[in-house]
Amino acid sequence: MSILKTKNLSFTYPQISSVHHATINDISFSLDSGETIGIIGHTGSGKSTLLQTLNGLIKPDSGMVFLNEKDLWENPKEIYQKRFKVGLVFQYPEYQLFEETAYKDIAYGPKNMGLSDEEIDLRINEYSALLGITEDNLNKSPFELSGGEKRRVALAGILAMEPDVLVLDEPTAGLDPIGRTMLFNAIKEYQIKTNAGVIIVSHSMEDLSKMCDKLLVLSGGEIKKFGSVKDVFLDSAELNNLGLDVPMVTRVMLELKAKGLDIRSDIFTVDEAAKEILNFFSQSL
Ligand SMILES: Nc1ncnc2c1ncn2[C@@H]1O[C@H](COP(=O)(O)OP(=O)(O)OP(=O)(O)O)[C@@H](O)[C@H]1O
Ligand SMILES: [Mg+2]
C-alpha cells in the first residue's frame, strides 16, 4: 500500500528569478510501506528541496503530497502534526542539536508530540540501544560527542517519534565504514519493526544498492528515471550523461567481463560480486 505519494509536485524558491527553471518540477512517485527508495542526483539537482516538501517544511507551488492516501495540506493548521509522521533527518543533522544533554535532544520531538515522560523514557532507551548510544553519552552535552555519535543522537530523536515514513538526507556522509554500517543496520531494524517507508538521499551508489528497492534519479529538479535498483544501474550510459556513476563494484565486474571473463555484470554489491567471482573460479577449475 502506498504510504507516501507525490503528484506533479513543483516548487521554486521565491528569491530565484522565474527566468530559471523550477527548483523541482512535476515530481510524481509513490512509496509503499516497508519499501526503501534512494534518491540520486548531482549537487543542486533538488534532492534536499524535494525531501522538505515530503514532510511539509516546504509547501509546493503546485501538485500534491499524500500521506496514507490523505492530502498532506488538507488542513494547513495540522501540518505540524504531519511532521511527526514523516520524520526528516537533515543533511548534517549534528549541527541542529541544541539541548543541554543528548537525552533531552532525543526527547525534544516526542515531547512536542505530547507523549508522557514515561513513554518518552521508554522510547529513548529503546532507540539509544538500537543506535548504540551509551548511557554515559546520553547524559553528556551533544557538543562533547564525536561527529558520528552526534549523528546517532539526531537519528534517535527522529526514530523516537516513530514516524511512518523516515526521510534521510545523506545520513552517512562523512562517517567511517563502521559508522555507516551501524547507521544502516539501525534504519533497517526500525523498518522491520514498524514497516515504515524509507527515503534516502546519498551520493554513495554502494550504500544505495545495499539499502534500496528502487532508485529515483533527479536532474535539474526533474525525474530522469524511477525504477528498481537494477533497472537504474543497468542504464550506466544515461547515469554517466547525468554526471552520476554505477557502484564501483559494478565497474569492476564490467571490466572483468570486458577482459573476457564469463561473469555477470548486473551486480551492485560487494557480497554479490564475491559470490559471482567464487562461482566463476569454482566452475573453471
Ligand atoms: N533556501 C534556498 N533558497 C534559495 N535557493 C535555494 C535554497 N536551497 C537550495 N536552493 C537552490 O535550489 C537548488 C536545489 O538545491 P538542493 O539543496 O535541493 O539540492 P541538492 O540536490 O540537495 O544538492 P546537494 O547534493 O549539494 O545537497 C540549488 O540550485 C540551490 O542553489
Ligand atoms: Mg542536499
21 CA from centroid of ligand 1 (Å):
13
Amino acid at 228: S
Mean of the per-residue pLDDT values of the chain? 93
C-alpha distances in Å from residue 141, one per residue of 109, 126, 202? 17, 20, 28
Q: Write down the CATH number for the domain with range 2-229.
A: 3.40.50.300
Would you state the cell numbers that stand for residue 273, as one nine-digit string?
560480486
The string of pLDDT tens digits covering residues 8-59 is: 999 999 876 656 678 999 999 999 999 999 999 999 999 999 999 999 999 9
Q: Is the CB of 13 under 6 A from ligand 1?
A: yes
- Measured from the alpha carbon of residue 41, the closest ligand is 1
Q: Is the CB of 282 under 6 A from ligand 1?
A: no
pTM of the model: 0.94
Least Cα distance to 221 among 23, 13, 17 occurs for 23
Nearest CA to ligand 1 atom 6: 13
Q: Which residues pair with 197 in a beta bridge?
A: 165
Q: Is the CB of 46 under 6 A from ligand 1?
A: yes
The answer, yes or no, to whether residue 267 has pLDDT greater than 80, is yes
The string of pLDDT tens digits covering residues 160-190 is: 999 999 999 999 988 888 889 999 999 999 9
Query: Is residue 185 a contact partner of residue 212, using CB atoms and an 8 Å limit?
Result: no
The string of pLDDT tens digits covering residues 94-131 is: 888 889 999 999 999 999 999 999 999 999 999 999 99
C-alpha distances in Å from residue 161, one per residue of 109, 188, 196, 263? 6, 16, 12, 46
Cβ-based burial of 258 (10 A; exposed 0-12, middle 13-18, buried ≥19): exposed
Distance CA 212, CA 36 (A): 5
Distance CA 166, CA 77 (A): 22
Q: Which residues pair with 228 in a beta bridge?
A: 214
Distance CA 285, CA 236 (A): 32
Q: Is the CB of 80 under 6 A from ligand 1?
A: no
Domain limits, the chain: 2-229
